[in-house]
Chain A
């Protein structure tokens, strides 16, 4: 369970999170929508401790993320995150990209890590690209590789930060299909996305962020069908 309590975060004078309260339970798929600068991506990087917070707290399975005593590397191993930019390691093959962290962080043997790597890459439809370098892959394939790389750590939570935003339109579908597959398998996911149709169809709950505040959180039928907050209505009207 991810518990977020009154989290505030500023970059200099700009307050990007103005007291966020949110709880995500095991197995839930939460999608987060909102305009750029609404704080939704920042929240994700705070959840796995890549960004410090100014006040409040984030607790993942009883471990406070920003506590001084928390072993962030250990915590990050169970919170996978995939970014807008896929960040493939260019000097490693697709399989090596996926097996690096399991070998170094989890201490798995090469063969054990490769077994997991092959399984995860097959899962995202890249079984025929194992020995290829990332530069030979399309953006969609690289993004799916990044998803497999995060999954290879057997995370209990997956955070997706606008993973289709940097892709050519014809490549968006294959990545969304991978996310759908994960959701159907019961993975706990927080997806920051601009794909409204996808969000509506896949999520248990949807949250709308506006200027650092969570303006509305509701089941998708309500958030997208009959939004309560005026900001949500204005945002959805503008994006349709």
Chain B
């Protein structure tokens, strides 16, 4: 029962798919986090009333299934606007905004967890809003937000499987291609799962390490 038609070349093919998954995730989490920080700070700073339009847009990105967002965005960019862009670009763009929508909430929650009295103390020492933000609020908010952010990054990594819809061959799509050819679905999906685990595990451990390092203060 351990006979398999899987060759080394097939494994390399899967590894390339995994590489694509890592790349799409890294790009999306990177830009999504930067945008998420900006959106989160704006939402916190201007108050619920002025932030309402932004909140609405972010809610749209959080509520519509990613698969639908990808199909619609792809159709909009290529057919309506008439741009010739790679599926990878569309995939990273949509995933970045999707990440940003979730990240903004995490950032806002982190900022609001910093006691107002602490911010008052730093302002009373003559620190500007910006100095207070970078030296007091953000370091503390990061500690609060880190576990949720790690969860988001891992979630985006798994959700990135959906970008096959815009012709990006990532890990799961590569696996499906092999399944079609080799007809060994269970074995191949196990290997695919193992690849996902190998990608996630270091990220989760790194998060655990940071939490531990920051807990001594």
Which A residues have a C-beta under 8 Å from some C-beta of B? 48, 50, 73-77, 80-81, 83, 85, 87, 89-93, 100-101, 104-105, 133-135, 146, 149-150, 153
Contact = CB atoms under 8 A, between A and B. Distances in A.
Contacts of B124: 48, 50, 76, 80-81
A77 B128 CA distance: 11
A80 to B, nearest CB: 8
Given A77-B126, A133-B217, 17 more contacts: A50-B124, A73-B127, A74-B126, A76-B126, A80-B125, A89-B118, A90-B140, A90-B217, A91-B139, A91-B140, A100-B127, A101-B122, A101-B125, A104-B127, A134-B217, A135-B217, A150-B125
Given A89-B118, A153-B126, A104 B131 contact: yes
Interface string B110-121: 000001011011
9 tightest A-B CB contacts, nearest first = A87-B121, A77-B126, A101-B125, A133-B217, A76-B126, A105-B126, A81-B124, A73-B126, A104-B131
B190 interface: no
Interface of B: 115, 117-118, 120-128, 131, 135-136, 139-140, 143, 214, 216-217
Nearest to A146: B121
Contacts of B126: 73-77, 101, 105, 153
Contacts of B125: 76-77, 80, 100-101, 105, 149-150, 153
A87 B122 CA distance: 9
B216 A133 contact: yes
A110 to B, nearest CB: 14
Nearest to A100: B135
B interface secondary structure, majority: helix
Given A76-B123, A100-B135, A83 B128 contact: no
B211 to A, nearest CB: 13
Nearest to B143: A91
Nearest to B132: A104
21 contacts: A50-B124, A76-B123, A76-B124, A76-B125, A76-B126, A83-B117, A83-B120, A87-B115, A87-B120, A87-B121, A89-B118, A89-B122, A89-B140, A91-B140, A91-B217, A92-B217, A101-B122, A104-B131, A105-B125, A105-B127, A153-B126
A81 B135 CA distance: 19
Nearest to B115: A87
